[in-house]
Structure 1
Amino acid sequence: MQQALESGGAPAGSLILVACSGGPDSLALASVAAHSARSGRYRVGAVVVDHGLHPDSAAVSAQTATTLTELGLEPVSVRAVTVNQTGMGPEAAARTARFEVLDAAAAELGAAAVLLGHTLDDQAEQVLLGLARGSGTRSLAGMPAQRGRYLRPFLGLRREETVEICRFEGLEPWHDPSNSDPSFARSRVRTQVLPYLEDQLGPGVARALYRTSRILAQDADYLDRVSVESFEQLHMIDGKDILLPEDALRALPPSLRQRVLALAAVRLGGEQPSFERIRATETLLERRGSAGPVQLGGFISVHRQVRGKSVPQGDPSYGSLVFRNNRALS
């Protein structure tokens, strides 16, 4: 735990918050973190997020807060959220609401880090879901051990180990019924798919998937860093548009080119484009059909620069792809 906090940049004496649902993973994490509080190395508090998705959620949150206070965590804050499922599934909506309230709590309380209780099993499930969706390297890398102030110190721990920690500490965790609800894809992976794979292929499947995520995380980090460097070298600004020279894009390996194209959309305020939209953008470089525009989701479009359009160097040219945020221009 201390190593995770130190590598995450949390200075000694700072406030650390545990995001706790009352389940075995986050309750075990709170218990371990409480030892850091008792050693005086860090101040440790907690945030309990009440999603309001089941009838007993308020009572569960209140009981969890009481347990955390008895463990010696201070402050312990219960935050109720409204899960807005407009435009997204229930899991994504709950995650969005949860991180919004955790961000707000961390800023309000001046926390140096927020601890999340995801385990090796969660990571294995994440990789399997990514494989099922046909995702790329970054998605298959799973959840990072650190993203900003968020730390996941239990990523190398099995879920059964967190249950054992709770048993050893005399804690009674709450078991969320949605974790076994077959209407959720993650629940089916947890209760049916992974157990089946472990039964058929051996008990090491979850650890193998976790190991795969760690290998791919290193690859994804490297490719992301190189793609940012390439984007910074290549892109030009023309008013509110981003221009990328076609010849330079063609010269890039596909793995970098696709990331550079996606970066242009993200820099303009768009979301990460799908692989299919990026491939459609790449067809503009072939100059065999339409000059676009290709819609990259949201209000971001990309087209080939037409002959006679001035580029920042001042000479008429048509050698760039133009990325535009059409909402910003409306």
Structure 2
Amino acid sequence: MTYTASLRTAVGCVHAAIDSLGLDRDPRFREHGRHVPERDAPMVVVACSGGRDSLALAAVSSIVCSSRGLRCAAAIVDHRLQDGSREVCDRAARQCAGRGLEPVRVIGVDVVDDGRGIEACARDARYRALCEQARLWGACAILLAHTRDDQAETVLMGMLRLNGIDGVAGMPERSVVDGVVFLRPFLSLTRAQTTRICEDVGLSWWDDPTNGDDHPGDEDLPSDYPLRSRVRHSLIPYLSRFTGSDVVDHLARSARLCAVDKDYLDSRADEVAARVVTPIVGASGSEVVIDAPGLADEHEAIRSRVLVRAASLLGLTVSSRHVAAIDALVTRWHGQGAVHLPSKYSAIRQKHVIRLCQDGVHANR
């Protein structure tokens, strides 16, 4: 195989990602070329959709893993949201198997909109399915094919949704979901590079129609397209013309800078939360107790993160307004009543502690 510039760069990115797992290279695989891994060799899983980015990642990961004596599998999630989705997934599975990935599995999921929007619900269903499959296979990590273009889009979406530094920090290179490690080796690659890789190795990809790739380039996407698609085809091209610069590169570089600050804030918040937040499971239900005086002297940036962590222990997703109201119980308490939270939970201060629990539990107390 002839290694083009894009393919060589991608191979280096995947090697670096796998290096981060701390997997030692088997000395038997130091010679160049493809090798058959042992049956009990460590496994990494490529999450593949059949699109150009994930197919490129599958092809490159197969090359890298075979050179390191690792097993490389593929998991393909069928969200069943579009006609013909199973055929798309089966085609992706055949292409992954043709590149040497094994095992390859198509996983069907049911996506139900719980009010957060179909995209968010589909994403959660996808991650649950991937985590379950990774645990079943005993995989070390799941590789995701997000590119530098995806990162820029994520940053802009985070800004539009007022997600603060967490939003503009974009997607991390490494994250852990339900105990499963996710790696994003391609965050420094562009969509143009993954397209070239597919062309170089002879892979044909599927373009999701909701991405808007077939829409005329000189027209904005209609408002019924997903936000990410409109950011990709309307907002980023406009910003590039307005600034006369590579906005994608600028946003991706900014995300890396913000990620450093976010990592520090998160680590400090983890330290404080370990000291002032106590989860309790009792006969009347689960609750979280917060030491208000212990949290009050911390900076607002730390307090807000601690409060979000406290709510997440109960499975709650809270808004910035909820966090501000609970923070007032911490720093400006003058006898005000409970703060009502989603799922019939509330936060109420009792002397030196704030209790987060369901309303019935408060009533019993």
Question: Is 1:64 paired with 2:110?
Answer: no
* Contact 1:265–1:296 (CA under 8 A) maintained in structure 2: no
SS in 2 for 1:18: strand
Aligned residues: 316
Partner of 1:221: 263
* Contact 1:45–1:73 (CA under 8 A) maintained in structure 2: yes
Q: State the distance in 2 between where 1:233 and 1:37 align.
A: 42
State the Cα deviation string for residues 247-278 of structure 1 (Å, max 9, x = none).
333322111122222222223x1324211111
Shift in alpha-carbon separation, 1:198–1:282, aligned structure 2, 3 A: same
Partner of 1:128: 156
Q: 1:7 aligns with which of 5, 20, 41?
A: 20
One-letter amino acid matched to 1:257: R
Q: State the distance in 1 between where 2:279 and 2:43 align.
A: 42
Partner of 2:128: 100
Q: How does 1:191-202 map to 2 (within 5 A)?
A: 191-202=233-244
SS in 2 for 1:174: coil
Shift in alpha-carbon separation, 1:109–1:227, aligned structure 2, 3 A: same
5+ residue gaps, structure 1: 306-317
Shift in alpha-carbon separation, 1:76–1:327, aligned structure 2, 3 A: farther
State the Cα deviation string for residues 77-115 of structure 1 (Å, max 9, x = none).
111222212322121121112112111211222211111
Following TM superposition, the consecutive aligned residue runs of length 4 or more in structure 1 with deviations greater than 6 angstroms are 327-330
Q: State the distance in 1 between where 2:165 and 2:264 align.
A: 11
C-alpha displacement of 1:327:
6.5
Q: State the distance in 2 between where 1:39 and 1:247 align.
A: 55
Question: Is 1:22 paired with 2:64?
Answer: no
Q: 1:162 aligns with which of 177, 186, 194?
A: 194
Shift in alpha-carbon separation, 1:245–1:179, aligned structure 2, 3 A: same
Decide which moves more: 231-240 or 79-88.
231-240
C-alpha displacement of 1:204:
1.9
* Contact 1:19–1:47 (CA under 8 A) maintained in structure 2: yes
Q: State the distance in 2 between where 1:34 and 1:287 align.
A: 58
> TM-score w.r.t. structure 1 length?
0.88
5+ residue gaps, structure 2: 1-13, 26-40, 213-220
Shift in alpha-carbon separation, 1:247–1:215, aligned structure 2, 3 A: same
Partner of 2:174: 146
C-alpha displacement of 1:60:
1.4
Shift in alpha-carbon separation, 1:20–1:245, aligned structure 2, 3 A: closer
Partner of 1:319: 352
* Contact 1:37–1:73 (CA under 8 A) maintained in structure 2: no
SS in 2 for 1:298: helix
Shift in alpha-carbon separation, 1:301–1:109, aligned structure 2, 3 A: same
